[in-house]
Structure 1
Amino acid sequence: MVKEALAEIKRGTAEIIDEERIENLLKEYFEKNKHYFVKVGFDPTAPDLHLGHTVLLQKLATFQRYGGIVQFIIGDFTAMIGDPTGKSETRKKLDRETVLENAKSYQEQVFKILDPDKTHVLFNSHWIEKLGASGIVELTTLFSVARMLERDDFEKRYKSGSPISISEFIYPLLQGYDSVYLKSDIEIGGTDQKFNLLMGRHLQRSYNIGKEQAVLMMPILEGLDGVQKMSKSLGNYIGVTDEPNEMYAKIMSISDELMWRYFELLSSKTLEEIRVLKEGVQKGKVHPKYAKELLAVEITARFHGDEAAHKAKEEFDRVHKKGDIPSDISEYEMAGPVWIAKALVECGIEPSTSQARRDINAGAVRVNREKINDMNLQLEPGEYILQVGKRKFAKLKVTK
């Protein structure tokens, strides 16, 4: 059982520091039913999660199946400082009201993946505020400025002359102190969090709490384009709160190659089940579309339930197999004549007029099911079905 559990825990990981400790924790669980603590931190900087965030949640759910108790830390204190990870400048701080509102949204979303009975939801203001000024000053004596500047983004900003606030130096120390206070056995995070994750090990050693947490890092999930990391700002994301039809269609739009990456990082299927499915596709016994449908149904059902997932599949099949128009497309009304690129943006199916032009030029835009190539087209008064690609539709009424 330990070998099987360890294989599932290692699945899809980018790097593990102190794998031996994880293996020993698993042995104690299977032999003595002794649970262990797995820490993860989320700064509630935005109210909604996307599937990229759930890569960590899926790994936490795996730990829960094998004896792990999740310490889910909502960084209400640290979010008001701002971690610049991956950024070239200081991140804006959030007010407490926004932090708490976003935190509430997070909790509603994460328990669609995590087992509430095996999850401790914690706010780090609870123990950090008790540190006080003297405690925080003492914390800063445990790490040097030279070591802090080894962090990649700090180093780049320092060399370029970009400002770095003292509070940003304190951020990783506070994240590390979370591990001291909670006596965490394992901490997980993305590869972009390596410096902060290792800080927990360093501070546990400095405070002599009798253990050093293992560290498990997950890769950053690629978005729908298969190239850039999943990001709302890049528009290549699948939101946890996306409507079922939209979520299902987005998953069906990914490439056959990217599908296996999503299976590995997001699916609850075992490694053996995925291996058999992939082998079937490679040998031509299973159609890639069927495999992708399994993935789309599984993920949509996770967040919306089985019934909604199967209805989303039926709607997708109806639209794409029969060439029908979706039954629930949004309707808009504008005074005309109206420029086609502007209409596409105003109807919410293009992010900008420049992108609309590119899609028209690529032959991805249809008006009343007819492909158009005139970027200067003016829509006269009348009713139109606008379409971009295979899954973006809008109904537009142009008035005089």
Structure 2
Amino acid sequence: MKYYLIAGEASGDLHGSNLMRGLLKSDPAARFRFWGGDRMAEVGGAENRVRDYRETSFFGIVGVLRNLGTISRQLRECREDVLRYAPDVLILVDYPGFNMKMARFAKEHGIRTFYYIAPKVWAWREWRVKAIRRYVDRLYIIFPFERNYFPRHGITPVFEGNPLLDAIAARSATLPSREEFGRANGLDERPVVALVAGSRRGEIEANLPLMCALAPRFPHYQFVVTGVSWLDRGLYDSHLAGTDVRMVVDQTYETLRNSVAAVVTSGTATLETALMRIPEVVVYRTVWWQVWLRPYVLKVPFISLVNLNLGREAVRELVQSSADPTEAQRALGAILPGGSERERMLGDYDELHAVMGGPGASDRFARDMVAELRKGATNGDRKA
């Protein structure tokens, strides 16, 4: 069968590539065309890639407004290419700003549409639920708590686990030892505390000052920022100047694997950190009025995916407008070796692993997709 996939971010490229491998296991004759990155190109062939996700990623309202013309052209290009390719299914991987528009287009042109990794409508833009119900033929979710959320809105989702477990397992075998990691990055012998400040400029500007302020309060630990190569180094240097905090680039998993604890901005990184069994504190700085409005506008009780999936505050969440590190200092001290909350948190991580569905999720999702397509073909809906 012919599969057309659209991924618009690094995480989508990773999960899209693993899904494609699973599709090939269930459908050895699978043919691909896709928007994605190098990982998807390794599986589906670079000649079948329409655009690299790095050409299509625009973050924040300002970034989108500045590139409205480019986004419009890319949407038009994608629509025309999908029609030319005439796939058996269009698989949308996260990236809702672009992909929800493609879902509507596909529905209007009779193209079967699967959405893999559902938009986080439970946190914001809940109005997208109606569009999902209207335009998506099959919704694939990766968080256990979503199994209760979407049926309340008239959608029966498919949950087969979380592909992060597969991604982490694949990377774990290649991660360096503590000695190798320290030597390669010029670190000293002190235990490492990872600072995962996000991958977007606004996140880093808001959260890194608070994170760096923790370092002098824990002199027996070495604090290491996990930077990303697509942001200007000067953004980090402006906050690291005059501190003892070190920085590594594009080595988040390597840093986490060799850390005793982490301070993490909300997002997928909170879940990755927990699945790697690294005790963490979640911090999120924003303007005061957003802190005040949080109980009224946020649709869920927590900001971290760890707590959302466990249904309780397993990891400490600190949402604040100031850069005062006092609360973060207390929370971090409690999860460092010997801290009062460390063993309890590690026990909660065992439960998290269990509810996330175990390894092999990518293959299970792919198996369901192929079975669903073949069932449709048998019923005369489409030709395989």
TM-score under structure 2 normalisation?
A: 0.33
TM-score under structure 1 normalisation?
A: 0.32
Which structure is larger by alpha-carbon Rg, 1 or 2? 1
